[in-house]
Amino acid sequence: MLGFHQEMTIDSAPDSIATAYMNVHETLLLFTGIRFFWEGQRQLLATCLFVKDGPLSIRAQYSKLVDPIRRFLVFAKGQGHMVHILGQEKTGKFVDHLQLVGRQAPVRSLFIPSTVYVREQIQHRTSGGDPYGMYTNYGAKVFVKMNDYHRMVLNIPTGAYNREPTLADLIGADRILATLRSDSQNFCGAGSEKCIEAISVNPNILRGWRLHAMPDSA
């Protein structure tokens, strides 16, 4: 059982249960589509992108779904079938943080924060307790700056939990990020030093950032 009953009393239920139900429902609906292709047209999975509104995370007692999701993604990748999943956050602490520090980041670049960065720079909490997202997240945070007007907080799965994910750890990241278009200039190529040099422009603002160039768009 998912545990909705744990939030209810005999004659009432908190507003939070509606939010929890919506998140669980969206997650199950997302994987219903994935299961459809997995069981019937597995060869087409690599051509699909499954998009979820909001973070790739499930909290509280519902987080029991996270581990099976991670194990499936690892298994699918091991079988040679990349499952492309993307979540986008439009509000919250991560979006607020990107709007603040992303101003000094170079255009057409991305940053993947580690759990230490999240704890120190976004959550502003001590080192005690479990690492961020250890039991709740099935996607890593990715800060993307397309240009001076378009910045996004994306979530892309890594499969197994990873405290310091890199671009290579994100499942299908090259194809997912290539779907993000820019109307100005082409994305700088992988390994471009132009994107890395920005770290030294303002080390106070970009503290801890490990920048990557965006891949070329398709």
Per-residue pLDDT tens, the chain, 218 aa: give them.
555 556 666 666 666 677 777 888 899 999 999 999 999 999 999 899 999 999 999 987 888 999 999 999 999 999 999 999 999 999 999 999 999 888 888 888 889 999 999 999 999 888 878 899 999 999 999 999 888 888 999 999 999 999 999 999 999 998 898 888 654 333 333 333 333 223 222 334 344 445 565 555 54
Crossing angle between the packed helical segments 66-78 and 16-40, to the nearest 10 degrees: 20
Q: Does residue 136 fall inside a structural domain?
A: yes
Q: Does residue 153 fall inside a structural domain?
A: yes
Q: Show the domain range for 97.
A: 12-218
Q: Does residue 1 fall inside a structural domain?
A: no
Torsion from C-alpha of 181, 184, 190, 194, nearest 10 degrees = -150
Q: Does residue 42 fall inside a structural domain?
A: yes
Q: What is the pTM (predicted TM-score) of this model?
A: 0.79
What's the farthest any 2 CA atoms get from each other in the chain?
Answer: 61
Q: Does residue 3 fall inside a structural domain?
A: no
- If one counts the domains in the chain, the total is 1
